[in-house]
Amino acid sequence: MQPAHRLIEEIVSSSRIPSARRRREVLRELQAHVEDAISSGVTERLAVDNLGDPREIASHFAWVYRKERAVLRLSVFLLSTIAVAGSIAAIVMAMKAGIAIGFGVPLPRIFSPRHTLIEAIDILSTAAAYVGLLSLEKLFDRRHFPKSAALLALIFAALAAVFSMAGRPWKFLLFGLVAGIFLRTIQVLLKNQAARIVVVPACFGAIGLISLRPLTVASWVVTGLGYLAMTHLAVRVDRALFKGLQQL
């Protein structure tokens, strides 16, 4: 059953069926089919030939389970975004509290409800853009980063248009999109982690330079460090959730 087993493994592994339980079931079913063929007098080689092109069978299965795959991807995206944004918001806020104390600034000034809300929305938007990029990249076989960035820009533009028409704030979406694409670009282009640790906070700190206030610069540097941590966390959370949800 060696060639048959290899062929069946190939079919199942490239079928992109999202549920691990369902993949195991397809494996069992195809194995039972080959066993039936062999026990009816067909040679293993012929049974394998009769089964057909593994890529064609896998692509048929992929088409049948396309909706489940989309639901899984969307669920992973939503859960990852919430988990990553929540963690990073907590880290950034804690670091900013430390800076405020260091600069002798009263905490209520840093954590005014309006400012905290804007910051939280910016972090959520950036996390959504970054995790969204990771998810969209899996849709493409080649040139996945530019294609997913373009698709994400279209999605965010549509969302911004809807928010704008509904009279809701939409600029945070633009911030999130730019920050998300910037972070992913840095991650793709700069393979050296030490270089990323320097470049990302420096770029975010440069935004703070506009105000010419040390506290604001420090606050942006901290934001940059938080986002850098997010890029590490998001990849792991995305992978773990994807694997975990596949087992359900």
Q: Is 70 an interacting residue with respect to other proteins (CB under 8 A)?
A: no
- Residue 95 and residue 222 in contact, taking contact as beta carbons nearer than 8 Å: yes
Q: Is 33 an interacting residue with respect to other proteins (CB under 8 A)?
A: yes
Q: Indicate the residue among 28 and 232 with the shorter CB distance to other proteins.
A: 28
The gap from C-alpha 45 to its chain's centroid, in whole angstroms, comes to 42
Q: Which phi and psi (to 5°) does residue 168 adopt?
A: -100, 155
Q: From the CB of 66, what's the least distance to other proteins, in Å?
A: 11
How far apart CA 128 and CA 175 sit, in angstroms, is: 11
Residue in 94, 101, 149, 139 with CA at minimum distance from that of residue 119 = 94
How far apart CA 175 and CA 121 sit, in angstroms, is: 10
Q: Indicate the residue among 14 and 216 with the shorter CB distance to other proteins.
A: 14
Per CB under 8 A, the segment of 27-35, 132-140, 150-158, 189-197 that binds other proteins is 27-35
Q: Is 64 an interacting residue with respect to other proteins (CB under 8 A)?
A: yes
Site string for other proteins, 34-63 (x = CB under 8 A): -xxx-xx---------xxxxx-xx--xx-x
Q: From the CB of 25, what's the least distance to other proteins, in Å?
A: 8
| Helix 214-246, helix 193-209: angle, nearest 10 | 130
How far apart CA 220 and CA 122 sit, in angstroms, is: 12
Q: Indicate the residue among 54 and 224 with the shorter CB distance to other proteins.
A: 54
- Residue 17 and residue 65 in contact, taking contact as beta carbons nearer than 8 Å: yes
Q: Indicate the residue among 34 and 131 with the shorter CB distance to other proteins.
A: 34
- Residue 204 and residue 221 in contact, taking contact as beta carbons nearer than 8 Å: yes
Q: Is 30 an interacting residue with respect to other proteins (CB under 8 A)?
A: yes
Q: Indicate the residue among 19 and 116 with the shorter CB distance to other proteins.
A: 19
Burial-class residue 86 by CB neighbours within 10 Å (0-12, 13-18, 19+): middle
Q: Indicate the residue among 51 and 153 with the shorter CB distance to other proteins.
A: 51
Q: From the CB of 52, what's the least distance to other proteins, in Å?
A: 3
Q: By 3-state DSSP, what share of the chain in percent is helix, strand and coil, each rounded to 5?
A: 85, 0, 15
Q: Is 25 an interacting residue with respect to other proteins (CB under 8 A)?
A: yes
Question: Rule CB under 8 A: which residues touch other proteins?
Answer: 11, 25-26, 28-30, 32-33, 35-37, 39-40, 50-54, 56-57, 60-61, 63-65
